C-alpha cells in the first residue's frame, strides 16, 4: 500500500497566505477531486489550490518542491487512465477555473503557452477548445433523467431551487436544516448535473439560460402537481399581496389562442420582475408562486347532466 504523508503545517500556512479561500481541505471538495473517469478506486488529494495567474502557479509549484509535496495538475477531470488520482496524497492544482483566462490578457501569452497548459492538463488543444465551448453553453432544460434525480431527493431539490433563486450556501444553511458539508455535497451534485459551477470559496455560478424551463410533462412538473398544488391552494388568499382569480366563459378558437398569447406575456413579465428583484438582499425577497391555467373545460357535475 502506498504511504501517504500529511501535508506539513508550514506548507498549509504558506498556501493559505498565498491563496486565501482558493486553498481548501474541505472533505467534500477533496472527494470530488479524488475521482476521474477511470475505473480505479477514488484517491482524494490532501488539499486543492485554484491559482489565479501564472505567477501563482509558479509560487505553488515552488512551495510544493520546497516541502516535498506531490502535485497533481487537474483540468476537466475526464482522465480515463487514473492520472488525476492522488495515490500519494498531496496537492491538486486545479487549472479548470475560468479565472485562469486572466493569463490570456498578457501579450506574452502565446499559442505555444496555450499548448503547454493543454499538455499540463493532459489534453489536446482541440479538447481544450471543446471544453471552453461547453462551459460557454448555457442550459435551456434538463433531461428526464436529470429532473428525476432532483425529485428523488427533497433536500437536493431544495438546494437546487435555492441556488436558482440566487441564494448563497451560507443563506441556505442558515435557513434550512443542512450543515455546510452536506450543503456542499448537494452543490457538487448540481455541478455534476451542469446546472451550476461551484467555485473556490463555495461560490456559485449559474449555467442556465434566460429561458431555462422545466420539461412540460417532466418529473419536476409532476412532483409539483402531486406534492405542491394542493398545498399552494390551501389558503384563503385574502392578504394584500395574494389573489385568487377564477373566471369562466365561452371563447372561440381564435379568442383562446389570443388568451394563450396573453398568458405567455404575463409569464414573461413575472420572469422579468424576478430578475429585477435579484439585485436585492435575500431579506427583501419573498418566495412567490403564480399559477395560470386555461383549457376547454366543463364542471364534471354539469357534464354528468348532459344528454347522451
Domain ranges (residues) in the chain: 9-136, 144-206, 234-303
Predicted TM-score (pTM) of the model is 0.60
* Per-residue cell: 24: 481548501
Q: How far apart are CA 206 and CA 223, in angstroms?
A: 23
Bigger pLDDT: 77 vs 283: 283
9-136: CATH, from 3.40.50.10300, 3.30.43.10, 3.30.420.280, 3.40.50.2300: 3.30.43.10
Q: How far apart are CA 10 and CA 95, in angstroms?
A: 23
Q: Residue 96's pLDDT band (boundaries 50, 70, 90)?
A: low
Q: Looking at the chain, which runs of residues are DSSP E strands?
A: 23-24, 47-49, 71-74, 91-94, 196-199, 203-206
49 bridge partner residues? 23, 93
Quote the pLDDT of residue 1: 43
Lowest mean pLDDT among 9-13, 210-214, 228-232: 210-214
- Note the pLDDT of residue 302: 93
Neighbours of 201 (CB within 10 A): 12
pLDDT over 80 (residue 95): no
Long-range contacts, stretch 300-305, CB < 8 angstroms, 24+ apart: none
List the single range of 82-91, 129-138, 279-288 with lowest mean pLDDT. Answer: 129-138
Q: 213-234 pLDDT, tens per residue? A: 899 899 999 999 999 999 999 9
Identify the CATH number of the domain defined by range 144-206: 1.10.10
Most confident listed range (48-52, 119-123, 289-293): 289-293
How do residues 119-177 score in pLDDT, each as one tens digit? Answer: 665 556 665 665 555 545 678 889 999 999 999 999 999 999 999 998 999 999 999 99
Percent of the chain's residues with pLDDT above 90:
42
Query: Counting beta carbons within 10 angstroms of the beta carbon of residue 206, is it exposed (0 to 12), middle (13 to 18) or buried (19 or more)?
Result: middle
Are the beta carbons of 204 and 187 closer than 8 angstroms?
yes
Compute CA 152 distance to the chain's CA centroid, rounded to the nearest angstrom.
17
Asked if residue 76 lies in contact with residue 123, where contact means CB atoms within 8 angstroms, the answer is: yes
Output the CA torsion sign for 231, 236, 238, 244: positive
| pLDDT for 74 | 77
Region label for 262, one of left (φ > 0), alpha (ψ between -120 and 50) or beta (otherwise): alpha
pLDDT at 98: 42
Amino acid at each position: 500500500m502506498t504511504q501517504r504523508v500529511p501535508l506539513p503545517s508550514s506548507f498549509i500556512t504558506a498556501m493559505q497566505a498565498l491563496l486565501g479561500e482558493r486553498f481548501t481541505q474541505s472533505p467534500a471538495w477533496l472527494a470530488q477531486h479524488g475521482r476521474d473517469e477511470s475505473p480505479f478506486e477514488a484517491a482524494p488529494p490532501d488539499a486543492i489550490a485554484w491559482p489565479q495567474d501564472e505567477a501563482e502557479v509558479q509560487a505553488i509549484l515552488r512551495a510544493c518542491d520546497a516541502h516535498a509535496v506531490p502535485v497533481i495538475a487537474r483540468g476537466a477531470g475526464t482522465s480515463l487512465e487514473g492520472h488525476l488520482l492522488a495515490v500519494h496524497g498531496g496537492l491538486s492544482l486545479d487549472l479548470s477555473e475560468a479565472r485562469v483566462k486572466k493569463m490570456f490578457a498578457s501579450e506574452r501569452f502565446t499559442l505555444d503557452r496555450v499548448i503547454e497548459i493543454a499538455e499540463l492538463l493532459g489534453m489536446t488543444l482541440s479538447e481544450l477548445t471543446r471544453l471552453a465551448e461547453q462551459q460557454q453553453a448555457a442550459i435551456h432544460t434538463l433531461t428526464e433523467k436529470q429532473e428525476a434525480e432532483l425529485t428523488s431527493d427533497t433536500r437536493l431539490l431544495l438546494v437546487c431551487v435555492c441556488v436558482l433563486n440566487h441564494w448563497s450556501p451560507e443563506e441556505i444553511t442558515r435557513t434550512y436544516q443542512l450543515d455546510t458539508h452536506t450543503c456542499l455535497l448537494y452543490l457538487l451534485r448540481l455541478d455534476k448535473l451542469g446546472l451550476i459551477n461551484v467555485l473556490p470559496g463555495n461560490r456559485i455560478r449559474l449555467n442556465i439560460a434566460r429561458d431555462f424551463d422545466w420539461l412540460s410533462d417532466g418529473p419536476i412538473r409532476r412532483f409539483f402537481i402531486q406534492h405542491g398544488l394542493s398545498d399552494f391552494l390551501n389558503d384563503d388568499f385574502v392578504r394584500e399581496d395574494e389573489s385568487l382569480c377564477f373566471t369562466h366563459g365561452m371563447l372561440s378558437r381564435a379568442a383562446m389562442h389570443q388568451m394563450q398569447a396573453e398568458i405567455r406575456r404575463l409569464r414573461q413579465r413575472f420572469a422579468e420582475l424576478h430578475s429585477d428583484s435579484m439585485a436585492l438582499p435575500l431579506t427583501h425577497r419573498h418566495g412567490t408562486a403564480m399559477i395560470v391555467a386555461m383549457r376547454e373545460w366543463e364542471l364534471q357535475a354539469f357534464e354528468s347532466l348532459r344528454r347522451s
